[in-house]
Amino acid sequence: MINFNNILLTHNGVKVSVIQHRDEDNPMDTSYQEIGIGEPSVDMPIVRYASTLTEFIEALQRVQSKIDYSDASLDRG
């Protein structure tokens, strides 16, 4: 069984969705770890991250930079 973890927030009016889906029987077996930027869609920008705090923080910083320095292509909801 998969354990679904989602965090929804915004940055400068842009929706950010942080997900981590893990196998409940083997918590170290991660199915997905990624951060979606903007409205959910098949072509929304995605930043993936690994299982360390440093890599997660770096992914969050990449997302922040994409939003802060983006053109009008990101949906600001």
Within a domain: 7? yes
Within a domain: 74? no
Within a domain: 77? no
pLDDT at residue 76, as a whole number: 57
pTM greater than 0.85 (yes/no): no
Residue by residue, pLDDT tens for the chain (77 residues) are 777 789 999 999 999 999 988 777 776 667 788 999 999 888 999 999 988 899 999 999 999 999 999 755 666 55
User: Which of 30, 29, 34, 31 minimizes the C-alpha distance to 59?
Assistant: 34
Within a domain: 44? yes
pLDDT at residue 21, as a whole number: 82
Give the domain extent around 19.
2-68
Q: Provide the number of structural domains found in the chain.
A: 1
Within a domain: 48? yes
User: Which of 50, 51, 53, 45 minimizes the C-alpha distance to 16?
Assistant: 45
Within a domain: 28? yes
Within a domain: 21? yes
Two tokens at 64? 């922040």
